[in-house]
């Protein structure tokens, strides 16, 4: 952990990285407009996608405000298998900065073409510590841990996460549901459960390829996600629950900016989580 790295320095670093991405030559993007919910979209075979994202949390009484940036590298291994590497970190206000671990995600889309319901199977291995704040999944019960950053960074966890993703397209509307199960394989704990659902559509038509500032270049979405409890008998506390409006902008034919404000609905949830992301498909 580097105590000398301030939140302001972190934000400047992220800004420089964003400017680099904006200058990168890109191909046509197929990025989902959500932050937590997954739809049925997978990468084209041989295509590499790079994303820089952040989550900034305003917590309730006992917690510490934080900024949690992470990097995603997503690759289309085949037409039906997408693999993704996450590198994540966190800065607690007044406590410094820490790397919080990495994740390896795999998504499998077994059926070609479009169907009334398009299933995707998701498996992820996580090697993270308790300071992780990106909240890509909300599972189990109780709040995030409140201990200082230094203590949380020393508490490591290796976890397996699985999702069943169901996605449907109704005209320009997308409706997606995710059921999440997660198991900490480094501790004798129960299985934690969660969910995420999302609804999205372009503001108008599909004019993103011809006009960058027309309504068709923007997608509006609404996500809801939270924990569904755990099999552990000693688990206590209410589940974390959030609702989050999202707006996405197809800046170019191969890049997307998106932002959301997730409002906590229970006393164990963060009061507000602001998320920002820039996603680009690299053309080699």
Mean pLDDT score, 212-218: 85
- Phi and psi of 234, rounded to 5°? -95, 5
User: Cβ of 101: how many Cβ atoms within 10 Å?
Assistant: 24
- Domain 7-282 grouped into CATH 2.60.120.260: no
How far is the first Cα of the chain from the last one, in angstroms, to the nearest whole number? 35
Distance (Å, whole) CA 93 – CA 101: 19
pLDDT at 27: 37
In tens, the pLDDT along 38-87 reads: 999 999 999 999 999 999 999 887 778 999 999 999 999 999 999 999 99
In tens, the pLDDT along 245-276 reads: 999 999 988 899 999 999 999 999 999 999 99
The pTM for the full model equals 0.87
Distance (Å, whole) CA 130 – CA 135: 11
Distance (Å, whole) CA 125 – CA 101: 11
List 169's β-bridge partners, or say none.
Answer: 174
Q: Band the pLDDT of 191: cuts 50, 70, 90.
A: very high
Percent of the chain with pLDDT over 70: 85
């Amino acid at each position: 952990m580097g105590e000398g790295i301030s939140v302001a320095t972190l934000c400047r670093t992220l800004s420089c990285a964003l400017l680099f991405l904006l200058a990168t030559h890109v191909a046509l993007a197929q990025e989902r407009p959500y932050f937590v919910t997954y739809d049925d979209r997978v990468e084209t075979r041989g295509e590499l996608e790079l994303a820089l994202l952040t989550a900034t949390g305003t917590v309730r009484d006992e917690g510490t405000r934080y900024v949690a940036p992470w990097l995603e590298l997503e690759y289309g291994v085949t037409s039906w298998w997408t693999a993704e590497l996450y590198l994540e970190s966190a800065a607690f206000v007044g406590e410094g900065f820490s790397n919080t671990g990495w994740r390896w995600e795999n998504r499998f889309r077994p059926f070609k073409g479009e169907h009334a319901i398009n299933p995707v199977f998701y498996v992820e291995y996580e090697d993270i510590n308790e300071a992780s704040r990106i909240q890509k999944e909300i599972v189990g019960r109780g709040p995030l841990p409140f201990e200082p950053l230094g203590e949380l960074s020393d508490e490591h966890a290796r976890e397996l996460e699985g999702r069943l993703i169901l996605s449907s397209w109704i005209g320009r509307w997308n409706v997606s549901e995710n059921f999440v199960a997660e198991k900490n394989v480094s501790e004798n704990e129960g299985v934690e459960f969660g969910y995420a659902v999302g609804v999205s559509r372009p503001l108008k038509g599909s004019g993103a390829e011809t006009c960058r500032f027309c309504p068709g270049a923007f997608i509006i979405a609404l996500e809801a996600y939270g924990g569904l409890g755990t099999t552990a008998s000693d688990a206590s506390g209410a589940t974390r629950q959030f609702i989050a409006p999202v707006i996405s902008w197809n800046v170019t034919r191969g890049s997307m900016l998106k932002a959301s404000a997730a409002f906590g609905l229970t006393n164990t949830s963060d009061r507000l989580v602001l998320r920002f992301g820039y996603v680009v498909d690299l053309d080699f």
